[in-house]
Amino acid sequence: MRESNRRAAPMLVAGCVIFGLGSLIVKIVPVGAYAVAFWRLAVAAVIFWALLRFFGQKLPKSRQALRYALLSGAFLGFDLALWHESIYAVGPGISTLLNSLQIFFLTAIGFFFFGERLGKMQLLSLIMAVAGVALIAGPEFGRNQSAGWGLVSGIVSGSMLALSMVMVRKTHQAEATPLFPMMMLVSLGGMAALVLPMLLLDAGNLYPATPRDIGLIVIYGAVMQCFAWGLVAYAVGLLPLSLTGLLLLSEPAAALLIDYFWLDKPINGLQWGGAALTLAAVYLGSVDN
């Protein structure tokens, strides 16, 4: 095995764990869900603009590619905002686990719009995921008045992420687009989509109020949106699909552990079982893809 391949697995895990730590920043910085998503993408847009200029990469010339890339960003913006809402409602662990269900929305999109067939393992994994979410939701409804919104926003955020990924695919189909221009356009599309809901819903907590909060949001955009995503994107291309699906589960697993040990969220045995079942379902669904 080449040296780069040997490094890929720890790089992928590191990227996923760093993603999980991003949920902690969302939890502690007093900025609205839509606003913090906007600022995360704004930081990323500046960084990707600097990178595309430095490496001499060009924006796509196709108007269709530009539209798809910006639309991907719009879906990503709402994915982030709804994931943030879920973090506020049910904590980083459960919200990140629910967001990971995007694999099933991708499967549904492939089935209904691209004529892809469903395998037996995908159907089994879907049943497992539904059962796992039910095990997580039961105790949460019993002690958390925001559980309903947290579960809905977390699941819908996964659907937005799936649509964002589909639009990235369609961008490349319209015109092969280098990484940095793609990510800058995605960031700009997300910012544009979030302006109105941010102003309407987060008017009271639109900006970070302290140097610490500003620094954390810069870290959120630079480290989580750019660096961690770069690690994941690099490593995924070097690893077998089955190992990739397994290692990607380190993100929701890390978020659950952060939630339980760092933020003292009560998670009982039934919910741990539901989390394990959901993680297994996401893994099986990703492998079968």
How far is Cα 133 from Cα 138, in angstroms, rounded to an integer?
9
pTM of the model: 0.90
Two tokens at 146?
Answer: 């925001």
Closest CA to 91 of 280, 274, 282, 252: 252
At 93-150, the pLDDT tens digits run 999 999 988 888 888 888 887 777 777 887 888 889 889 999 998 889 888 899 999 9
C-alpha separations of 184 from 49, 181, 187 in Å: 6, 5, 5
Instruction: Give the model's pLDDT for residue 38.
Output: 97
The upper half-sphere exposure of residue 201, i.e. CA atoms within 13 Å in the direction of its Cβ, equals 16
How far is Cα 208 from Cα 35, in angstroms, rounded to an integer?
9
Two tokens at 259?
Answer: 């939630």
At 223-232, the pLDDT tens digits run 998 998 778 7
Q: Which residues of 255-276 are buried (b: 16+ CB within 10 A; e: fewer)?
A: bbebbbeeeebebeeebeebbe
**Residues 264/24, Cβ–Cβ less than 8 Å:** no
How far is Cα 4 from Cα 119, in angstroms, rounded to an integer?
33
User: ∠ at Cα 199 (18, 212), nearest 5°?
Assistant: 40
Two tokens at 2?
Answer: 């080449």
At 27-84, the pLDDT tens digits run 899 999 999 999 999 999 999 999 999 999 999 999 999 999 999 999 999 999 999 9
How far is Cα 69 from Cα 71, in angstroms, rounded to an integer?
5
